[in-house]
Amino acid sequence: MPVTLTGGCLCGAITYRLEHEPDDVADVCFCRECRKESGAAALPWVQVPPARFALTRGTAKGYATSEVATRWFCPDCGTPLYMTDHENRSIGVTLGSLDNPQAIRPTTQGWVCERVSWQGLDDTLPAYEKSPPYDL
């Protein structure tokens, strides 16, 4: 049974809604792009099909960070909000931008090959050298 969650940016200019299913992949990503985008050592995401995500206020600004992905953020306050792929298969929503970030617990860890040495791993979660499997 899906759970409706809401979120948005720091300044409130952009808000969104997503429908979360218990088997959605929620990963902590250690890749260079996530570090640079967030200014943190890792960035947790949840992956959902596009049909289960909608902006409810405002317009995010996109930045293509690779040949396959665009990251979206608030153009006013800079909050990283979500990422889309060019095939329109999934939307990765940053857990920190949720109104209740504790509503989703990460289920896996990805891109550990790019993890900074002082950032620990969660030994209770599977870890992947590169991308975790997303079965969307």
CA geometry: angle 18, 63, 127, nearest 5 deg: 60
Please report, to the nearest 10 degrees, the dihedral formed by the alpha carbons of residues 92, 126, 39, 48 taken in order: 10
Q: Looking at the domain assignment, is residue 49 inside a domain?
A: yes
pTM for this prediction:
0.92
Q: Looking at the domain assignment, is residue 90 inside a domain?
A: yes
Give how many domains the chain has, as a whole number: 1
Rounded Cα distance, 60 and 13, in Å:
9
State percent of the chain over pLDDT 90. 90
Q: Looking at the domain assignment, is residue 79 inside a domain?
A: yes
CATH code at position 38: 2.170.150.70
CA geometry: angle 18, 21, 22, nearest 5 deg: 135
Q: Looking at the domain assignment, is residue 21 inside a domain?
A: yes
CB neighbours of 68 closer than 8 A, spacing ≥ 6? Answer: 85, 86, 87
Residue 136 has pLDDT above 90, yes or no: no
pLDDT at 133: 81
Which regions of the chain does DSSP assign to beta strands (E)? 3-8, 15-20, 26-29, 43-48, 53-57, 61-64, 69-73, 80-85, 91-94, 108-110
Rounded Cα distance, 83 and 60, in Å:
11
Q: Looking at the domain assignment, is residue 130 inside a domain?
A: no
- Domain extent, residue 108, equals 3-114
Rounded Cα distance, 56 and 38, in Å:
23
pLDDT (tens digit, 9 = 90+) per residue, 27-82? 999 999 999 999 999 999 999 999 999 999 999 999 998 888 999 999 999 999 99
Q: Are 86 and 70 in contact (CB under 8 A)?
A: yes
pLDDT at 135: 55
Q: Looking at the domain assignment, is residue 11 inside a domain?
A: yes
